[in-house]
Amino acid sequence: MRWRFKTDLTENDVTPEEVFRARRRFMAAAAGAAAVGVLAGRTAAASRSDAVLKDEPTRYEDATTYNNFYEFGTRKSDPARLAGQLTVRPWTVRIDGLVDRPLELSLDDLLKEMEIEERIYRFRCVEGWAMVVPWNGFMLRDLLRKAGVRKEARYVAFETLLRPSEMPGQKGRLLEWPYREGLRLDEAMHPLTLMATGMYGKPLPKQNGAPLRLVVPWKYGFKSIKSVVRITLTEKQPPTTWNMMAPDEYGFYANVNPNVDHPRWSQATERLLGSGLFAGSRPTRMFNGYDEVAELYRGMDLRKYF
């Protein structure tokens, strides 16, 4: 289903969580029934749906209180505690660099132009936890096409808001601010790559990257930059925050790969957020289970380009 985003949602406008989760259970059951009799050569898209739908969506309370957003502190609870002071209206997004039509749009004008859809994605953090989140947003490639991608462009760079007065973590020197991330152009143009404006049918919470964040479900969570204010098309690979900070630990690509461990922990298993401290872990899937993106990396040494 595709629908226009509303900026004036109230609690009465959104689907109650218990109804939402019941709907997901119904869809999962329907997907399982439809899978009966499907031949072995089923599509990658079907595999992806099965992989995601077999897990219940992470509880909203868990997904919005256990976050990495170092602009508000280094503890997982800091963003939910401190992000309330962030001003998200007005908000301007700039698209520049190697584009035919540089754009500088208010978020409200941008949302009027983009078609918002719901997607349920598995999300993976480097520390070993995972969650399943229903995101609302639009494909990044739709926005890039509005700006007109020039033939010389090879990469897409992103920047987070720089506002130390409201983002207390930026007053320190833990990272080089503003936070930066980047994708190869074909990754950015892939239909799975989403610019999220909401989650669970509600506007995006500030601690989760309001009002606009990137979601790249086959990569580790730190690639999905929050509170984006600038998107730049470049010819050369752009610098990215964690790769600059610790290049031996955080590669530019950051694809979920159970065969490449972080120097300080294994990536071979994962545990679902909210499943409890003593819940069993399970094997991590290559590309987080999104097999359809494997073609993007054909012929690459994924240990070298991690």
302 found inside a domain: no
3 found inside a domain: no
Would you state the pLDDT for residue 54?
76
Does residue 277 or residue 289 have the better pLDDT? 289
C-alpha 86/C-alpha 207 separation (Å) is 9
Does residue 43 or residue 207 have the better pLDDT? 207
Q: Does residue 304 carry a pLDDT above 50?
A: yes
Rama region for 97: left / alpha / beta (φ>0; ψ in -120 to 50; rest) = left
The three-state (H, E, C) secondary structure of 21-55, written as one string: HHHHHHHHHHHHHHHCCCCCCCCHHHHHHHHHHCC
68 found inside a domain: yes
User: Average of pLDDT values for 54-80?
Assistant: 95
Assign 199 a pLDDT band (cuts: 50, 70, 90): very high
305 found inside a domain: no
Would you state the pLDDT for residue 15?
43
- Poorest-confidence range of 29-38, 84-93, 202-211, 255-264? 29-38
C-alpha 277/C-alpha 66 separation (Å) is 14
Assign 52 a pLDDT band (cuts: 50, 70, 90): low
Q: How many structural domains comprise the chain?
A: 1
Would you state the pLDDT for residue 276?
72
Asked if residue 203 lies in contact with residue 7, where contact means CB atoms within 8 angstroms, the answer is yes
120 found inside a domain: yes
Asked if residue 100 lies in contact with residue 159, where contact means CB atoms within 8 angstroms, the answer is no
Does residue 40 or residue 178 have the better pLDDT? 178
Would you state the pLDDT for residue 277?
65
User: Average of pLDDT values for 12-36?
Assistant: 43
- Poorest-confidence range of 47-51, 75-79, 156-160? 47-51
Assign 275 a pLDDT band (cuts: 50, 70, 90): confident
169 is in which domain, residue-wise?
14-297
Q: Does residue 299 carry a pLDDT above 60?
A: yes
Q: Is the dihedral of CA 143, 220, 72, 245 positive or negative?
A: negative
268 found inside a domain: yes
277 found inside a domain: yes
C-alpha 225/C-alpha 246 separation (Å) is 17
DSSP code, position 192: T
For the chain, what is the mean pLDDT? 86
Give this prediction's pTM.
0.84
Q: Tell me, what CATH number does 131's domain have?
A: 3.90.420.10
Q: In this predicted model, what pLDDT tens digit does every residue of 228-268 receive, in sequence order?
A: 999 999 999 999 999 999 999 999 999 999 999 999 999 99
Would you state the pLDDT for residue 280?
77
Q: Does residue 132 carry a pLDDT above 90?
A: yes
Q: Does residue 278 carry a pLDDT above 70?
A: no
Asked if residue 247 lies in contact with residue 262, where contact means CB atoms within 8 angstroms, the answer is no
Does residue 45 or residue 145 have the better pLDDT? 145
Rama region for 219: left / alpha / beta (φ>0; ψ in -120 to 50; rest) = beta
188 found inside a domain: yes
